[in-house]
Amino acid sequence: MVQATGSPITVGQAVVRNFLRWVDAMPFFTYGFGMASCLATRRFQRLGDLAAGTVVIYERAGELPVLAAPPPIVPRPLPVGLTADETRALVRFRERAGLWPAARREEIADQATALSGACGAAGVSRLMAMAHWVQEKKQTAGDGRSHGEQPNNP
Measured CA angle at 89 (ends 117, 148), to 5 deg:
75
Which amino acid is located at 11 in the chain? V
Whole-number Å distance between alpha carbons of 116 and 48: 56
**What is the tally of helices (H) and strands (E) in the chain?**
8, 2
pLDDT in tens, 31-74: 676 777 788 888 888 888 888 999 888 777 677 666 665 555 68
Return the sign of the alpha-carbon dihedral for residues 34, 35, 36, 42.
positive
Query: How many domains, in total, are found in the chain?
Result: 2
Which parts of the chain sit beneath pLDDT 70? Answer: 26-31, 33, 61, 64-73, 143-154
Would the pTM count as exceeding 0.95? no
The domain in which residue 135 lies consists of: 84-143
91 and 139 in a single domain? The answer is yes
Q: Is residue 150 part of a domain?
A: no
